Structure 1
Amino acid sequence: MAKASTNKIRNSLDSELYLLDYLRTGFRSEVCALIPENETVEAILDMVLDSDNWKDCSGKDVPPPDFVSDADALMLEVMRVDDHERPGDRRGIVNPARAHETEIINNYEREFAKMLSQAADGASLTILGKTDLPTSEDHSYSMYLSGFRRIVSKHASRADEYRHNHPNHGLVFYIFDESTGYFESAERLEHEVREGMELRGRPHHFFADRAFLDVIKRSKADYFIWHTPFKHENLFAEGLLLPETVIYDVRSINVPELDYDETRMVSTEI
């Protein structure tokens, strides 16, 4: 992001380049799953992680998608999803966490501008909104799935345009997922989940959730990268280690698919 003295303050999480850099700089091979696990999928991931050949096309005056590598014959579209969305009081949806991020920037824009003006070139600002809502109101599996479906479908509707702009290029969808981890409670919950409660259930293997996989299969992408840096299931269930990054060959998905009861899904963040 350019110096704040000449540009409006912007949350780096609203930048496609930053979201891609987040994957590249924080990638951990030990918590990455390839589906299927083969040399082709591994090669696609390596190409995406290597920034050398990629051209940033995320600006308004450049034909989409967001990034293109002619050397690798690949193109990549970036998207962001979380589990905070809610139906609005009127039409559409609201996102309390995103609204709080905007509020913070508006309230402290002068201070942020001064701070960034004194920082190194290329410094950026990352704001994470906090709603202070009860868990059941702050994190919703059903709205997480709904938002995932809506956002991926929106980009899928432009897949033909992407392919027209860059013929003979493979299409990669990359989704930066800010949601928490979830588990499916063994019992139907009658009360708000609170700190210290003991619950029985099974973890949410998001990468094999049939409902999400159906969205990915319909995405019209050739490859789909799902990065989930904030789930941290291991902090809530001893010995549990799920992938943080998953890359799919969309036409060759071969994992056993799992079904979950939306009414019993609980966020692990209290």
Structure 2
Amino acid sequence: MADRSYYSPKGGLPPQTQLLTDRAMFTDAYAVIPRGTFSDIVTSFLPFWDKARFWVIARPLSGFAETFSQYIGELLPGGGSDRPETSPEAEAVIFVVEGGLTLTLAGKQHLMEPGGYAYIPPGTGWSLRNEGDSAARFHWIRKAYQAVDGLDAPDAFVTNERDIAPTEMPDCGGVWATTRFVDPADLRHDMHVTIVTFQPGGVIPFAETHVMEHGLYVLEGKAVYRLNQDWVEVEAGDFMWLRAFCPQACYAGGPGPFRYLLYKDVNRHMNLPR
């Protein structure tokens, strides 16, 4: 597999001379959080984390994300947590985009480099540390696991994108592929976090309209993305949230691949009002 690029925010503040016009959008059907909004003044701090800060890019909220939260975490050298998760029902995916992290999961240590991916089931003990000499950055996607009687919770695992062959989508000549970290037929999982790759000029050739909620963080490249009735330019470092049934499509602009980290909820009945 060719070397991969993973964009990560660095913080800071724009100069006083910068125009206020930006691509940030928040609608009933979708939101776009462009990379220029990831400044120092919008970071959050969390209990039991040292030398760490987080950009919260999705949270359960009326009219926004309903099934998940997503953070971009930054750990300085020596930073981390031995008690990172305070909600016992939360499952998680960790995806490293810069630097190195040591994940201790069920008593076993794993060195995670860029492209590193870990799935952490609910109720599992884990810790995360930056034992290197430079800052490390990672995505942390959290969801309240929807247990089903007769199905066990998924197993924990750690891997890296470079070790997984992308699956080409049908009838697209190889320009559209998905890197899947879990078997889609494994119904123990109630969320999928994948990497979608389009080669320059590749498209989603129809307006996808489906029940899955999406979070999309652009890791590399640029594209024009269809969100509901709008076409929006996006680039590496931008985040998009799409409500269930929000029509979507895209056209990858080049000159290199367009790639994004994709969250969606799957494999469960729809909650019914009582």
Q: Provide TM-score, normalisation by structure 1.
A: 0.31
Kindly indicate which of the two structures has a greater share of residues assigned to helix: 1
Larger radius of gyration: 1
Kindly indicate which of the two structures has a greater share of residues assigned to strand: 2
